[in-house]
Structure 1
Amino acid sequence: MMFDKVNHWRYNWDQDVVLSDPTNTVYVKYTANTGLNTIRACLHLLPNRAPRDLVKATHTYRIGGQLKRAEKWPTEPTAYTIECSAEPENVSVELEAPNGER
């Protein structure tokens, strides 16, 4: 009978494999001394593009009745200074994390 050589029908293998360099193709080879009925593969792939800016910070403030905005795309925690001719009134600070392409 064909099933005599099959000791276990289903196999799961969970392990992260991180490639050292990007590639377009990945091959998986199964080798064992037993038969195989089911194999499961969960692939988590990243798009082939450069990383985007993470957060856009928009500081809105008012000076002398005029509304002004300063946009920053920080890549790390940082401080910034806005040179003003008069005392500014803070209106808002918006933080945006873009989803997908810009």
Structure 2
Amino acid sequence: MVRAVNELDAYLARKTAELRSADVLLRGLGLNYRQTDVLGRFLRDPGLSTSVADHQARYGVVAQTARTDLTDLARHGYLDSSKQGRRVVWHPVGDLPARLGA
């Protein structure tokens, strides 16, 4: 039981350090805070996706600003998009941590 707790503690310490270094790295990319937050969320959970409407609601911006944020991230090679009906959904590229150097 003690061993399991120690292993969990070590794992959590490792993950905390990874997230801190990812945050520092993201701040150095010259992106706005919304884009940095999106990439941070995708690094923590690669299965997430977002849309213009989701981004708009989360950050309180107009649709064009949300669209620009997401298309800029795609242009930099951090996001891919796909269509679900008429809606465009954005998700992280498979090798996002490697592209960011995380």
TM-score, shorter chain, exceeding 0.5: no
- Considering fraction of residues, name the structure with more helix: 2
Larger Rg: 1
